[in-house]
Amino acid sequence: MTRWTLGVSLGASLVATLATVHPHGVAAQSSIVIATGGEATVPVPTLMEGPHASIANTDVADQLFLRLAELGPTLITAGDRAFVPRLARSWTRRDSVTLAFDLDPRATWHDGVPVTAKDVVFTFTRARDPAIAPQLAGLLRRISAVRAEGDRRVVFQYTQPYAEQLYDAVFHTAPLPSHLLAGIPPLALAGAPFVQAPVGSGPYRWVRRVSGQYVELAANERFFLGVPAIRRVLFRLAADPDARLNMVLGGEADAMDNIPSPRSNVARVAARSDLRVVPVPTSTVGFLLFNQRDPRDRDRPHPILSERDVRRAIGLALDRRRMVRATLGNAAQVPYGPTSPILWIRHGAPPPLGANVHEARRLLAARGWKDHDGDGVLDRVGRPLALTLSTTNSSAIRQQLALQIQEQLRQVGIRVQFERFDFPVYNERRTAGRFDIDFASTAQDPSPTGLGQGWSCEGSTNVARYCDPVVDSLLEVAGQATDAAPEAWRAVLRRIEAGAPAVFMYGLNYLFVVHRRFTNVRIRPESSWLALREWTVAEPAPRGTAGY
């Protein structure tokens, strides 16, 4: 990945593009440059899995492709009422296992072809195929059939009654254009030209991607819900978070998704009359993920971290509240279990455990970990208690916390080597299970059913190979409930905490930065820039005229 630093000469194409956007003129007024830490390489529904399951891909895909419906402002995922129509103008329930959606006849693809029920059926055929989209197929496993009734009606059939039927139909994927893709072999789509120039139904259409630099989108002049006031969108890449902030402060970008630490950076932004700070509860939870398998031989248990008491001891040795407060202030809280600020089951859950260094030492000693040679590092049968801690260099938060974690664990005799990687390398190593402790950050689904992706035995993002059949059973019970079932979901959290597959470090509230020329600014917790189409642009202040 090309890493941006201020003062480095920009590529000629980017200079030419930015010259038409900044710093003055009509183009600048109706355009936005968003500084982002990741590159959207595959922003296509049903392909954003594994190494392509990135926020960068989702952010761009949400501008290009429209869902059947979207979550309403309450973010409630159960029932049929708390959703906003999009490609579907309405839906009706035929019985406890059947939903019918009527498509808006005004909806078209970017090439002008109408969106039809055939497109929805085509997309869900792909999404429900484990050979094509194993993660999606798992999420949609309770959809038994999707069929068209004419051009404008599509019917979803479910295997059983449960509370999130509508959510499953509309949230996990957006429809794709079957008239462009049906002739491509299903497994060949990832390498097709379509991926490099996607055609969607959303408020923005694809213009181009300059690898390592930016993605450019333009307003969809045919968008049936109203042409966006922001006519042009650039997602400009800068892996380093400080570089992204400096781009905004220097007028090279209009917005970014989070002000990096230290907290004095918030004051730098707040002092600017042309910028606003927008606090947003996020779907982000950061955690130290313990690899249950040996990174050098995935068929063997991890020689250290396969023991639950060792994992528990690491968590107890860390003063999470102090670290999070020092690094993030009021912008984050230590969660109980894998719960982000927007996940409703966190309310009413027990408080997270505090640090207990004495108990951590006791647990380690009971498992035979003692400093036999006096070098300050615990050892057992000649093996030092030494681990690597891996993260991406695009996250200032995780980098700062990692250094504190390293020091606190050193004090109980655990040697930690801190490794940082550019995001593509980090993601490849993580997906392959080549780590001891992974300092991860994930954007959760608004629904607690999404917990199964990372914490069930066969979860699609369970790269650490954590497996507790009791957790799987509790997830099934909670997921099959026909109401919200808060206590059933909290039982899931309690069991995960007891198994210590991770140390849950923070649930994050982001502080976005947005230029004040944009009005009606609304940032969605489940997808940051999803509402960009609804933003408006303030009229430029009239220039004064020369005179006496």
Residue 488 lies in a domain: yes
Regarding whether 472 and 531 lie in a shared domain, the answer is no
Using an 8 Å Cβ cutoff, are 91 and 101 in contact?
yes
Q: What is the structure's pLDDT at 42? A: 96
Q: Sign of the CA dihedral 360, 363, 369, 373?
A: positive
- Same domain for 40 and 118: no
Final residue belonging to a domain, choices 181, 210, 233: 181
Cα–Cα dist 276/325, whole Å: 23
In this structure, the answer to whether residues 319 and 398 fall within a common structural domain is yes
The answer to whether position 264 is within a domain reads no
How many folded domains does the chain comprise?
Answer: 3
CATH number, residue 105 = 3.90.76.10
* Angle subtended at Cα 84 by Cα 83 and Cα 86, rounded to the nearest 5 degrees: 130
On whether both 73 and 37 belong to a single domain, the answer is: no
CA distance linking residue 363 with residue 441, whole number of Å = 27
Q: 273 in a domain, yes or no?
A: no
Beta bridge partners of 519: 536
Q: Could you identify the residue written with the tokens 């208690």?
A: 385
Residue 47 identity (one-letter amino acid): L
pTM of the model: 0.73
Residue range of the domain that includes 312: 283-508
Residue 446 is assigned to a structural domain of this protein: yes
Q: Which of 364, 349, 463 is nearest to 415 (CA)?
A: 364
Query: 533 and 444, same structural domain?
Result: no
Do 435 and 525 have their domain in common? no
What is the domain-level CATH number for residue 215? 3.40.190.10
- In the chain, the amino acid numbered 413 is G
The rounded distance, in Å, linking the Cα atoms of 518 and 534 is 10
Question: For residue 329, which amino acid is it?
Answer: G
Low-confidence ranges of the chain (pLDDT < 50): 1-13, 15, 20-21, 23-26, 543-548
Say if CB 102 and CB 89 are below 8 A apart. yes
* pLDDT reported for residue 148: 98
Judge contact between 260 and 242, C-beta under 8 A. yes
Closest CA to 209 of 193, 196, 219, 190: 196
Q: Is residue 63 part of a domain?
A: no
Same-domain check for residues 339 and 483? yes
Q: What is the pLDDT, as a whole number, of residue 7? A: 34
Same domain, 466 and 340: yes
Of 150, 181, 212, which one is at a domain's C-terminal end?
181
545 belongs to a structural domain: no
Specify if 189 maps to a domain: no
Q: What CATH number does the domain containing 346 carry? A: 3.10.105.10
Tell me 530's DSSP state. Answer: G
204-210 and 153-158 strand pairing: unpaired
Contact criterion met (CB below 8 Å) for 77 and 447? yes
331 and 458 belong to one structural domain: yes
pLDDT per residue as tens digits for the range 37-92? 999 999 999 999 888 888 899 999 999 999 999 999 888 888 888 899 999 999 99
Query: What SS3 state is found at 409?
Result: helix
Residue 204's beta-bridge partner residues?
219
- Write out pLDDT tens, residues 20-33: 445 444 456 799 99
pLDDT value at position 261?
78
Residues 206, 245: one domain?
yes
51 within some domain: yes
Cα–Cα distance, 173 to 468 (Å, whole number):
28
The answer on 231 and 363 residing in a single domain is: no
